[in-house]
């Protein structure tokens, strides 16, 4: 039925399609040009061409700081960042150590690299990321969008560029640090990890200790990528898998992954009527998120479920 309606509408709109498309494109072009006329772009040497930014990075041996934004629709957080950090009088001084790339997703036909956001691992705007001269992601900026926070991410990117040079020269310790960084960003597929690790031979105890939690976090991400959030069976299967990981002592440490990990274990424990496992998981969630008001209702609901489990003889 849906396709039939779409077909009928296509016929009705056919005669106006060219004009309509032109109007749509005119609007997109206008919004893009309006975006690019922003005063913040005049305060530092921004480059709008992705390929040129990479070439400049290679020539100057500097990381690229890329700000990915959009013009086809409003983006309040983008505008806040533009009017704040990017308009700060201190920004140009810091930015001098980087190649500045502003990529605007405009949906204007014919523009280069229209899918750059997804290609660089982004899922929403604004997306702040540091790249090397090959376009490989060095650091995805997370957390506060402040100049001080950017400085921390920028230094990490510079450090990784230095490590890559050392790794290319045969420094195995530097190579391990690069691999660990890629793992943290989810840029190494689990099936490829064993082969990549084999290059380093026997790892030190310290390296093993740093590697294990990152590997566990990636395993959790892999499970979550296959979960259908609308399917109770899919959620329960993930909870069952996470419960097995927990039993083996393989528990993610990051708040994001750990929160979902334990939430799905609670779902599994409730189905299994395992009050002890449910209480253990809930205690961990309370310790991590109990002080955050947004989590209060969810934790209270979980407590009610636990009380119900305990009431069963």
Contacts of residues 248-251 at CB distance under 8 Å and 24 or more positions apart, as own/partner, are 250/216, 250/219, 251/216
Could you tell me how far CA 198 lies from the centroid of its own chain? 28
Beta strands in 71-177 (DSSP E): 99-105, 127-131, 137-140
Does 126 sit behind a cis peptide bond, omega within 30 degrees of 0 on the bond before it?
Answer: yes
Give the burial class of 81: count Cβ atoms within 10 A of its Cβ; 0-12 exposed, 13-18 middle, 19 or more buried.
buried
DSSP string, 252-276: --SHHHHHHHHHHHHHHHHHHT-HH
Per-residue pLDDT of the chain (313 residues; tens, 9 = 90+): 333 333 333 333 333 333 344 559 999 999 999 999 999 999 999 999 999 999 999 999 999 999 999 999 999 999 999 999 999 999 999 999 999 999 999 999 999 999 999 999 899 999 999 999 999 999 999 889 999 999 999 999 999 999 989 998 999 999 999 999 888 887 887 778 888 898 888 999 999 999 998 899 888 988 998 899 889 999 999 999 999 999 999 999 877 889 999 999 999 999 999 999 999 999 999 999 999 999 999 999 999 999 999 998 7
pTM of the model: 0.72
126-to-71, 157, 230, 276 alpha-carbon distances in Å: 11, 19, 28, 42
Rounded to an integer, what distance in angstroms lies between the CA atom of residue 300 and that of residue 186?
Answer: 33
């Amino acid at each position: 039925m849906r396709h039939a309606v779409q077909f009928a509408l296509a016929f009705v709109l056919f005669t106006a399609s060219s004009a309509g498309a032109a109007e749509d494109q005119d609007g997109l072009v206008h919004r893009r040009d309006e975006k690019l006329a922003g005063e913040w772009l005049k305060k530092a040497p921004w480059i709008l061409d992705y390929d040129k930014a990479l070439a400049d990075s290679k020539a100057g041996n500097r990381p690229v700081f890329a700000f990915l934004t959009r013009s086809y629709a409003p983006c309040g957080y983008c505008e806040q960042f533009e009017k704040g950090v990017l308009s700060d009088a201190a920004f140009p001084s810091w930015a001098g150590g980087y190649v500045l790339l502003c990529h605007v997703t405009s949906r204007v036909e014919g523009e280069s690299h229209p899918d750059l956001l997804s290609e660089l691992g982004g899922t929403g705007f604004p997306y702040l990321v540091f790249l090397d001269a090959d376009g490989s992601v060095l650091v995805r900026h997370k957390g506060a969008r402040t100049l001080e926070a950017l400085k921390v991410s920028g230094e990490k990117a510079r450090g990784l560029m230095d490590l890559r040079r050392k790794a290319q020269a045969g420094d195995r310790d530097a190579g391990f640090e690069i691999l660990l960084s890629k793992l943290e960003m989810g840029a190494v597929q689990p099936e490829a990890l064993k082969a990549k690790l084999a290059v380093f031979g026997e790892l030190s105890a310290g390296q093993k200790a740093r590697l294990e939690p990152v590997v566990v976090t990636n395993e959790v991400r892999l499970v979550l990528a296959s979960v259908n959030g609308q399917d109770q069976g899919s959620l329960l299967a993930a909870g069952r898998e996470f419960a097995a990981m927990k039993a083996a002592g393989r528990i993610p440490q990051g708040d994001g992954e750990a929160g979902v990990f334990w939430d799905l274990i609670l779902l599994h424990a409730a189905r299994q009527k395992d009050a002890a496992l449910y209480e253990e998981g809930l205690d961990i969630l309370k310790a991590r998120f109990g002080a955050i008001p947004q989590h209060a209702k969810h934790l209270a609901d979980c407590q009610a479920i636990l009380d119900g489990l305990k009431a069963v003889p």
